[in-house]
Chains A and B, each alone.
Chain A
Amino acid sequence: AQSVTQLDSQVPVFEEAPVELRCNYSSSVSVYLFWYVQYPNQGLQLLLKYLSGSTLVKGINGFEAEFNKSQTSFHLRKPSVHISDTAEYFCAVSDRRGSGNTGKLIFGQGTTLQVKP
């Protein structure tokens, strides 16, 4: 079974400052890793994903994340945030086994990013 822990429930930050949203996961099998963003009363939008290859992945809106297998982490970063980045961010994992892969996503608890002017 997998689990995901987002270490910060809320992250306040000033506009144009850098930000890191932390995510740790636990799994007995190899996983795919995802970050999603949710704006109020909307569905989820994929920010970025790690499937294989380079451990540093770049996503939309200037976000990037680094997969660290030894620390079982997948922290999300942005060097300079904007007011419009204010939203809820979810880290998620999915089992990457072949025929046994249902594609189910396990989500973390979410982190509210509050960008202040």
Chain B
Amino acid sequence: GAVVSQHPSRVICKSGTSVKIECRSLDFQATTMFWYRQFPKQSLMLMATSNEGSKATYEQGVEKDKFLINHASLTLSTLTVTSAHPEDSSFYICSAREGYLQYFGPGTRLTVT
């Protein structure tokens, strides 16, 4: 099946710094990728839809200047958490769309100290 990777799997950063998370579709091209956030024991919350070559579409309540998304190629989308704060600590998961299906990455655990 289709494989999606994320890098890094875990990252610890200091408050005020920025962190970039990469999402790659390894064996297929994805014009659309999605970024989710998941708090412990909770469901996935869609943050934004990333479309190759155009601006991302953010869900209501998600700060687009804080969570920068770039979908520069058909196999790569990046999420940059700018000026991170402890409340940004979470599990971030990306997915890549192929037809009707979404294939999920393994997630990135972000801890902001």
Partners in one complex: yes
Cβ-neighbour of B46 out of A32, A41, A51, A104 (below 8 A): A104
A94 vs B95: C-alpha distance when bound (angstroms): 14
B82 interface contact, C-beta 8 A = no
Contact indicator B93/A44 (Cβ below 8 Å): yes
B43 interface contact, C-beta 8 A = yes
For A107, what are the chain B residues with a Cβ–Cβ distance below 8 Å? Answer: 43-44
For B93, what are the chain A residues with a Cβ–Cβ distance below 8 Å? Answer: 43-44
A113 to B: closest C-beta gap in Å = 14
**Secondary structure at chain B's binding surface: helix, strand, loop or mixed?**
strand
For B34, what are the chain A residues with a Cβ–Cβ distance below 8 Å? Answer: 103-105
A17 to B: closest C-beta gap in Å = 24
For A45, what are the chain B residues with a Cβ–Cβ distance below 8 Å? Answer: 104
A103 vs B46: C-alpha distance when bound (angstroms): 12
B90 to A: closest C-beta gap in Å = 13
A108 vs B44: C-alpha distance when bound (angstroms): 9
**A interface residues with partner B (beta carbon < 8 Å):** 32, 36, 41-46, 49, 51, 90, 94, 96, 102-105, 107-110
Q: A42-B106, A44-B95, A44-B104 are in contact. List 10 more A-B contacts (CB 8 A).
A: A41-B107, A41-B109, A42-B107, A43-B106, A43-B107, A90-B44, A102-B57, A103-B32, A105-B46, A105-B102
A51 vs B4: C-alpha distance when bound (angstroms): 22
Contacts A41-B107, A43-B107 given: A103-B97 contact, CB under 8 Å? yes
B77 interface contact, C-beta 8 A = no
For A51, what are the chain B residues with a Cβ–Cβ distance below 8 Å? Answer: 100
Q: Per-position contact with A for B10-45: 1 when CB-CB < 8 Å, else 0? A: 000000000000000000000010100000001110
For A49, what are the chain B residues with a Cβ–Cβ distance below 8 Å? Answer: 100-101
Across the two chains, which residue of chain A brings its CB closest to B2?
Answer: A46
A90 vs B6: C-alpha distance when bound (angstroms): 21
